[in-house]
Amino acid sequence: MTSRRIRIDVPALTRVEGEGSLRLEVRDGKLVELGLSIFEPPRYFEKFLEGREAREVVDIVARICGICPVAYQISALNALESLANESAPDWALTMRRVFYCGEWLQSHALHIHLLALPDFLGFDNAIAMAGQHPDEVKRGLKLQGLGNALIRLFGGRSVHPVGARLGGFHHAPAADDVSALTHKLKAAQADAADLTRFCASLPLPNDPQDFIGVALHHPDRYAMECGNIRTSTGLMLSAAQFEQHFHETQKSDSTALWSDFDGQPYLTGPLARLNLNHAQLPDFLHTRLGEIGLALPSSNMFHSLIARAVEIELALHEAITLLEGYTCPAAPYAPLSLQAGTGYGMSEAPRGLLWHRYEIGEDQLIKAARIVPPTSQNQARIEADLHRSLTAFGLDHDEDALRLRAEQVIRNYDPCISCATHFLTLKRVER
Amino acid sequence: MKSLMTKPRIAVHKFSSCDGCQLAFLNLGEALLQLNAQVDILHFLEAGMSDAEADVDIAFVEGSLSTPDELDRIRQVRAHSRYLVTIGACATSGGLQALRNLDGNHDDWRDAIYARPEFIHTLKHVKPVAAEVKVDLELWGCPVSSAQVLAAVRALLFGVAPVDDRDRVCLECKRQQAVCVMVTQGVPCMGPVTRTGCGALCPRFGRDCYGCYGPSETAQTDTLARRFAGLGLLPDAIARRFLLINSQAPAFLQTGRVFHRSPARAQPPGDQDD
Amino acid sequence: MTHPALPTEALILNRIQETEDIFTLQLRLTDPAQQWRLGIQPGQFNMLYRFGVGEIPISFMAIAQDEQGQSVLAHTIRALGRVSQALAALLPGDRIGLRGPFGNGWPLQQAEGMDLCVVTGGLGCAPAVSIIEHAFANRALYGHIHIIQGVKHSADLLWRSRYEFWAQQPETTVLMAADVAAPGWPWYSGRVTELIKRLPLNPEHTLVCCCGPEPMMQASAEQLIRQHVPADAIWLSMERNMQCASGHCGHCQFGADFICRDGPVMPYPRLRDRLGLEGV
Amino acid sequence: MPTADYLPRHSLSHLFDLLQQHGYRLVGPQVIDGAILYRPLTAVDQLPSGTEQVQQPGQYRLIQTDSSRRFSWANGPQALKPLTFTPRETLWRSQLHEDGSLSFHETPEPATPTAVIGVRGCDLAALALQDQHFADDPYYRQQRDALLLIAVDCSHPADTCFCASTGDGPDAKAGHDLALTELDDGFLIRAGSERGKNLMTALPLTAASHASHQQAETQYRRASQQQRQLPTFDPAQLIHLGGHPAWDAVADACLSCGNCTSVCPSCFCFSESEVPELDGTASSHQRQWDSCFSEGHSYIHGHRFRPDTKGRYRQWLTHKFGSWVEQYGRSGCTGCGRCISWCPVGIDPLQVLAQLGDEPPTSN
Ligand SMILES: Cc1cc2nc3c(=O)[nH]c(=O)nc-3n(C[C@H](O)[C@H](O)[C@H](O)COP(=O)(O)OP(=O)(O)OC[C@H]3O[C@@H](n4cnc5c(N)ncnc54)[C@H](O)[C@@H]3O)c2cc1C
Ligand code: SF4
Ligand code: SF4
Ligand code: SF4
């Protein structure tokens, strides 16, 4: 091997949400520098939440991320409602899961089609890809559209929906609207199945690696809108125990905070979920897993793509099942009153675990807030993966090939960098 | 502006934001492909196009200016664009993150959050794009809707300025036949001073508008604040209504400031019981 | 059935740049079944529609015949905002939509056998030019023709050559005033009302057509009355926002009148006690 | 022979059935989102039951009682206006063809025959006003001609109502096909048109008892005793009171939000706009409700005749109660009180009128 030096500088990563860049340097066949840096400017959400009313929180935290506002709203509600005298009505809790299904559906479909697939089919972007793969792209846009429609049903619009509130929803959808949409969801199930088969048929790199998986787990159902933390190392933790094991530190070249689990990088997101909770998938999805030959747990990070497709099928199925026989409730919410104290809450955002903590004072205003989003949790894992994958791929590849592989690896985590830095710990970290 | 004869070139730039306004494009579904038939998208990182330096006919800018670097970047964007359109509250009025401007808290907040604040280069005050460069058109809303963005593109394709609809939410609320929440529930609705564009979403969902589209034409914010006081809101709570997503929009800022951090016992001016 | 609310297609035959921002479109209606729309009187107006952009009210300027003997309609437009600028961008061969004619024109019948006094201010000239052209085309029907045109700045004067031409016609007086005059302005500098004072009027036998900003029209009318012109011989052309032009949308109300339907040309006594009221 | 004019409460469904048999879509009052709204319905039990209401300036609340009355409320935020003057509709479409030519198309949507149940006297009077205004408007006419109106005399006017003083209520006076008087156990019924008469013959009616008629009479008298009354003023003079201090006071209290015009059953202003398709080959020309409280209402390029709330409020009041008389032979107000209840800040125009009449105007 000839002595050579490659510097790859991707000043602005494309097809990720938010702003990040990648630098890597290979010298004499060795990776001498690798930096995934995030320059998304901090917006200090946790600080301006202080002094706001508890009921305002859902409208504020939605704005942390335009891609997964529902996740922010539900994690916040879980945290705040843990301080309430009673729980939100069953109807509302069920519908929150449906609302959440909408977000999984739209976010996963967006990620697969607009962000990830071009990598595997050899295009710069989905619009270029649509020229040669119009059916796949249209199928994806349609699924994304259905996810958005589901969010709109409960929230009026798919970005920063306005329907969620403490104690339930502001408004219950009309039964006619529900049945019309359910109809469309059913009609899309075949598309979703095709999508899973299609994703499984892609020539995904086979690159098994060891990692710790972390996901919510719920005793009765595939965890989404609530649950407790389960790790592949065998721990079960409540939201209140999160901070005992998960710590954030600030990287010097970045505005992002990195999270570790007892000092280790870990994975959160679709593959972690599927690995930990696949037993709870409905029968038809077990069949599908058999059909496509996906053995779980999987240690190939690139199976995240298939995991998203499977979760699209799951979200459709769940929404259809839960909306079956829908009737308007007497009241879409219960007027809750909150006690002063600290509330913790979590949910599984499309990209992974999203944890919130709020301290509420006697005056019913927020005294302190802390939010840990999925991307900051995956950060360390992404760098570890990059190191491993690029070395395994072969550092003697040419610059373009290395860059593409690096970007594939990063996109595989669907990092949502916009939120990555909105959430910052209040604790000072040792220098 | 003159008619755009050839296929216009467009760019979508992101500054400090949540990415939600870019979704007005990415959520278009098949219309995204139609749009692509009408224009050349040269730069749009999230969609996979990267050419920030390209000269374009229309640049859509999402996000506010919150770092020194962003100040440089917006000047570049301006220099490379014929027509610059801000999309959303962040770009147009600073957005939620501009709440840090209110009490000049930036440094404290940064130091409280970051172990190594020396690596954090953020501006003390968040600025809307127009504070730094000339803006040709502002699309309000948090987020902007696909319909707004498409209408703007379409108008520019026809070579005319897009219509700037500054009507208040109340008008649309009634057109949508929503039931007024202020009158039936006594909740403090910002609809009377907020511009339309959302289709009166919140009142249609049985809740109060929280002003995400910014001030309407002739926004009677002081009158509305007095009404809120009449509904029983304390001064700080009134301030919170006006100082939220568009806190830097002058009409909201002015009224919000009157009540912001005023002692809870101080009575707001005006009637208490109408 | 197609009803009159539906526009009809008009072909742009010619486009004349009158000043930097004023242009004239010469139009032909493409559908012979729509020719009834050309029974239009000076002072009436059409709604001109630019595809995909919108509609605006524009006064009728003139109708002429082209070489083939087909009617050609002219509208003179100032490019100001969205729609007028979009119309300004059009070229011969382009198509627009047209609805009309709407409103009441100048009282031509009542004017026959009388002297005509046309008082215009600023850009109010397009509807007034239409009546001057009409009067010269039917010269025998009218007595003396007085033309008074006031502009803010001498540079605003439109159709200077036309005024100069009219000034040379027999039985015609042309007086011009500019509030602010550049050097070389051969006419008066000052207000239109001062010019009115100088007119050799035959008050009993004069019909006045006035068009311009409301304060100017009001002042002119009062001056004319002082000079013994009967109030009901003074006609003003009014302007308000118009959306439908059919008396429904409510935007053009001026007191009890809908300007699009009851105007735009109205007798002074009808307007007298409302002109000058703030916010009406 | 005594006339058959009594419909027992349980037979109300016969009326519903009959209308449906005649091919009518039914629209009637329902309790939705805390208000009485006219919406499509199919069965009697969708009507409010025992619902009463409290209306105050800027306030509207429903109250549930044990009564089995269906119409024991005064009104909701909208009268018949949205049914005939659609809040937003496409007037025509244009198409740009390959050769550069333009074509224009109507967008006729044949109106479904619709029977509206529960119409109030004040709203019938307002409909008559709109009938005058929109007499030659094809879009309005089409919807209007499809209506069959079944009125119910108002037995429970709200505190904001003043129809007795405008002469438009509380009973249905004209313009209805059928009118009902709701009593404790049923309805007195009368026809106002040939269509109404024909329908009546197909209903299981009996002759009303003397007691029923007496109850109706008492009810009518009570409903006519309304606190609020239209003050006396000279409509032709309103427009000349521009210098009156009352305008400044009301401008200070007013949000310029336009709710009063939107809920007013006679207000007719609309604006037009163009909605082109993305590909630029077709476009819709639409109209939507506008208000004299909006900036655009008095806009001409470079100038607004009414830049502030004071001018806009004056336009509204002087038009509704003043110039309307000249336009349509009567005031534009039929006493429904909606502009009082649905004003978010509770402005009562009657008070403003009274002030304008009371104090001598300062000069203008
Ligand atoms: C009866 C009548 C006759 C007219 N005749 C002529 C004429 O011959 N030549 C000429 O140049 N101008 C004429 N005008 C004025 C012309 O209609 C306006 O200049 C034009 O509407 C401006 O539209 P815009 O879209 O370019 O401007 P913008 O400022 O963008 O206006 C937006 C919209 O407001 C409305 N609007 C704005 N100004 C006016 C106005 N003055 N009158 C009515 N609606 C308005 C229109 O709907 C317009 O599209 C006439 C106006 C009226 C009422
Ligand atoms: S304006 Fe709102 S939606 Fe748009 S980027 Fe900013 S926070 Fe997101
Ligand atoms: S609900 Fe809000 S927006 Fe709607 S009319 Fe009432 S105050 Fe206006
Ligand atoms: S009603 Fe108000 S807060 Fe709600 S979406 Fe519309 S503008 Fe935003």
**pLDDT for the residue numbered C239:** 92
Looking up residue C200, the CATH number of its domain turns out to be 3.40.50.80
**pLDDT for the residue numbered C155:** 76
Question: Among B177, B189, B190, which residue has the most ligand 3 atoms within 8 Å of its CB, making it the best to mutate?
Answer: B189
**pLDDT for the residue numbered B5:** 53
Distances (CA, A) of C39 to C7, C8, C45, C70: 16, 15, 11, 14
Single pTM value for the model:
0.93
- Atom in ligand 1 nearest the alpha carbon of residue C55: 49
Task: Assess whether C94 and C134 both reside in one domain.
Answer: no
**pLDDT for the residue numbered A6:** 67
**Average pLDDT of chain B?**
90
Is A328 annotated as ligand-binding?
A: no
CA D200 centroid distance within chain = 26
**Other beta carbons less than 10 A from residue B213's beta carbon:** 31
Q: Which of A157-166, A387-396, B70-79 has the lowest mean pLDDT?
A: A387-396
C279/D287 touch (CB, cutoff 8 Å), yes or no: no
Torsions phi, psi for A340 (to 5 deg):
-65, 145
Banded model confidence at residue A10, pLDDT cuts 50, 70, 90: low
Beta-ladder partners of C178: C151, C189
For residues D214 and D157, the answer to whether their CB atoms sit within 8 Å is: no
- Calculate mean pLDDT across residues B47-68: 92
Banded model confidence at residue B80, pLDDT cuts 50, 70, 90: very high
How do residues C66-83 score in pLDDT, each as one tens digit?
778 788 999 999 999 999
Identify whether C67 is part of a domain.
yes
Residue closest via CA to ligand 1's atom 30 equals: C81
Chains that touch B (3 or more CB pairs under 8 A): A, C, D
Task: Assess whether C42 and C132 both reside in one domain.
Answer: no
Q: Spell out the alpha helix ranges (H) of chain B.
A: 23-26, 30-38, 68-79, 88-93, 106-113, 146-157, 169-175, 181-185, 201-204, 221-230, 235-242, 250-259
**CA atoms of D331 and B163, how far apart (whole Å):** 35
Banded model confidence at residue D1, pLDDT cuts 50, 70, 90: very low
B7–chain D nearest CA distance, Å: 12
Share of residues in chain B with pLDDT > 70 (%) = 93
Banded model confidence at residue C107, pLDDT cuts 50, 70, 90: very high
What ipTM, to 2 d.p.?
0.93
Q: Which of C102, C128, C158 is the last residue of a domain?
A: C102
**CA atoms of C146 and C202, how far apart (whole Å):** 11
Banded model confidence at residue D225, pLDDT cuts 50, 70, 90: very high
Beta-ladder partners of B13: B61
- Which among B174, B183, B217 has CB closest to D262? B174
Q: Is the peptide bond before C215 cis (omega within 30 degrees of 0)?
A: no
- Calculate mean pLDDT across residues D115-140: 95
**Other beta carbons less than 10 A from residue A427's beta carbon:** 13
The total number of residues written for chain C in this structure: 280
**pLDDT for the residue numbered D316:** 96
Q: Enumerate the residues of chain C whose CB falls inside 8 A of the CB of residue D280.
A: 52
**pLDDT for the residue numbered C125:** 67
Structure tokens given for A241: 């125990």
Q: Enumerate the residues of chain B whose CB falls inside 8 A of the CB of residue D343.
A: 183
How do residues D155-186 score in pLDDT, each as one tens digit?
999 999 999 999 998 999 999 999 999 999 99
How do residues A196-236 score in pLDDT, each as one tens digit?
999 999 988 888 889 999 999 999 999 999 999 999 999 99
How do residues B162-176 score in pLDDT, each as one tens digit?
999 999 999 999 999
Banded model confidence at residue A387, pLDDT cuts 50, 70, 90: confident
Q: Which of B174-178, C61-65, C274-278 has the lowest mean pLDDT?
A: C61-65
**CA atoms of D183 and D67, how far apart (whole Å):** 11
Banded model confidence at residue A267, pLDDT cuts 50, 70, 90: very high
Task: Assess whether C231 and C119 both reside in one domain.
Answer: yes
Q: Domains along chain B?
A: 9-157 (3.40.50.700), 169-259 (no CATH)
**pLDDT for the residue numbered A29:** 77
Share of residues in chain D with pLDDT > 70 (%) = 98
**pLDDT for the residue numbered A311:** 98
Q: Which of A307-316, A400-409, D114-123 has the lowest mean pLDDT?
A: A400-409
CA-angle at B34, arms to B31 and B39, nearest 5°: 120
**CA atoms of C153 and C181, how far apart (whole Å):** 6
**Chain D CA closest to residue C257:** D327
The total number of residues written for chain D in this structure: 364
Nearest Cα neighbor of A373 from A45, A114, A147 is A45
Is A101 annotated as ligand-binding?
A: no
**Average pLDDT of chain A?**
88
Task: Assess whether C54 and C130 both reside in one domain.
Answer: no
Question: Among B167, B168, B169, B202, which residue has the most ligand 3 atoms within 8 Å of its CB, making it the best to mutate?
Answer: B169
**pLDDT for the residue numbered B95:** 95
**pLDDT for the residue numbered D27:** 97
Task: Assess whether C71 and C133 both reside in one domain.
Answer: no
What's the CA-to-centroid distance between C80 and ligand 1, angstroms? Answer: 8
Please tell me the total count of domains within chain C.
2
- Calculate mean pLDDT across residues D112-122: 96
The size of the B-C interface in CB pairs under 8 A is: 16
B18/A66 touch (CB, cutoff 8 Å), yes or no: yes
Banded model confidence at residue A277, pLDDT cuts 50, 70, 90: very high
Banded model confidence at residue C93, pLDDT cuts 50, 70, 90: very high
How do residues A226-237 score in pLDDT, each as one tens digit?
999 999 999 999
What's the CA-to-centroid distance between D53 and ligand 3, angstroms? Answer: 20
B171/D289 touch (CB, cutoff 8 Å), yes or no: yes
**pLDDT for the residue numbered A430:** 28
**CA atoms of B103 and B253, how far apart (whole Å):** 12
Q: Spell out the alpha helix ranges (H) of D92-137.
A: 121-133
How do residues A299-345 score in pLDDT, each as one tens digit?
999 999 999 999 999 999 999 999 998 999 999 999 999 999 999 99
- Calculate mean pLDDT across residues A32-46: 77
Banded model confidence at residue D342, pLDDT cuts 50, 70, 90: very high
Q: Enumerate the residues of chain A whose CB falls inside 8 A of the CB of residue B244.
A: 56, 59-60
B20/A249 touch (CB, cutoff 8 Å), yes or no: no
CA-angle at C83, arms to C82 and C89, nearest 5°: 95
For residues C231 and C221, the answer to whether their CB atoms sit within 8 Å is: yes
Q: Enumerate the residues of chain B whose CB falls inside 8 A of the CB of residue C52.
A: 154, 158
**pLDDT for the residue numbered B262:** 56
- Atom in ligand 2 nearest the alpha carbon of residue B17: 5
Distances (CA, A) of D231 to A312, D238, D251, D354: 66, 13, 20, 6
Q: Residue A146 pLDDT > 80, yes or no?
A: yes
For residues D115 and D25, the answer to whether their CB atoms sit within 8 Å is: yes
Task: Assess whether C29 and C162 both reside in one domain.
Answer: no
**CA atoms of C220 and C231, how far apart (whole Å):** 11
**pLDDT for the residue numbered C62:** 81
Structural domain range at position C147: 115-271
Q: Residue C230 pLDDT > 50, yes or no?
A: yes
Q: Do chains C and A touch (3 or more CB pairs under 8 A)?
A: no
Task: Assess whether C132 and C222 both reside in one domain.
Answer: yes
Higher pLDDT, C277 or D131: D131
Helix, strand, or coil (residue A228): strand
**CA atoms of C107 and C126, how far apart (whole Å):** 17
**Other beta carbons less than 10 A from residue D143's beta carbon:** 21
Q: Residue A1 pLDDT > 50, yes or no?
A: no
Task: Assess whether C136 and C161 both reside in one domain.
Answer: yes
D280–chain B nearest CA distance, Å: 7
Helix, strand, or coil (residue C86): helix
What are the E-state strand segments in A178-335?
214-217, 228-231, 236-237, 246-250, 257-261
DSSP H/E element including A191: helix A189-201
**Average pLDDT of chain D?**
93
D256: left (phi over 0), alpha (psi -120 to 50) or beta: left
Task: Assess whether C98 and C147 both reside in one domain.
Answer: no
Banded model confidence at residue B268, pLDDT cuts 50, 70, 90: very low
Is A416 annotated as ligand-binding?
A: yes
Share of residues in chain D with pLDDT > 90 (%) = 90
Structure tokens given for A308: 């998203």
How do residues B229-240 score in pLDDT, each as one tens digit?
999 999 999 999
For chain C, which residues lie within 8 Å of any Cβ of chain B, measuring from their own Cβ? 52-53, 82-83, 85-86, 89
**CA atoms of D347 and D340, how far apart (whole Å):** 6
Higher pLDDT, D362 or C247: C247
Q: Residue B17 pLDDT > 70, yes or no?
A: yes
Distances (CA, A) of D46 to C162, D36, D50: 72, 12, 12
Task: Assess whether C178 and C257 both reside in one domain.
Answer: yes
- Calculate mean pLDDT across residues D194-201: 94
Q: Residue B3 pLDDT > 50, yes or no?
A: no
Structure tokens given for A293: 């030959």
Identify whether C277 is part of a domain.
no
B18/A65 touch (CB, cutoff 8 Å), yes or no: yes
- Calculate mean pLDDT across residues C95-100: 95
Please enumerate in sequence order all residues whose Cβ is within 8 A of that of B108, keeping only pairs 6 or more positions apart, or say none: none
- Atom in ligand 1 nearest the alpha carbon of residue C239: 53
**pLDDT for the residue numbered D360:** 57
Q: Enumerate the residues of chain B whose CB falls inside 8 A of the CB of residue C83.
A: 160
For residues B42 and B82, the answer to whether their CB atoms sit within 8 Å is: no
Structure tokens given for B116: 């190594």
* B201 pocket-lining for ligand 3 (C-beta < 6 Å): no
Looking up residue C24, the CATH number of its domain turns out to be 2.40.30.10
**Chain B CA closest to residue A152:** B201
Question: Among B176, B181, B187, B210, which residue has the most ligand 4 atoms within 8 Å of its CB, making it the best to mutate?
Answer: B210
**CA atoms of D161 and D338, how far apart (whole Å):** 8
- Calculate mean pLDDT across residues D284-305: 94
Beta-ladder partners of D289: D270
**CA atoms of B13 and A204, how far apart (whole Å):** 31
Q: Enumerate the residues of chain B whose CB falls inside 8 A of the CB of residue A144.
A: 27, 29
For residues A198 and A354, the answer to whether their CB atoms sit within 8 Å is: no
**CA atoms of D315 and D305, how far apart (whole Å):** 10
Rg (CA), chain B: 20
Nearest Cα neighbor of A74 from A292, A397, A345, A422 is A345
Q: Residue A3 pLDDT > 60, yes or no?
A: no
Higher pLDDT, D266 or B112: D266
**CA atoms of A136 and A142, how far apart (whole Å):** 10
Q: Which of A112-121, A264-273, D45-54 has the lowest mean pLDDT?
A: A112-121
Identify whether C279 is part of a domain.
no
**Average pLDDT of chain C?**
89
Task: Assess whether C96 and C130 both reside in one domain.
Answer: no
Q: Which of C102, C135, C160 is the last residue of a domain?
A: C102
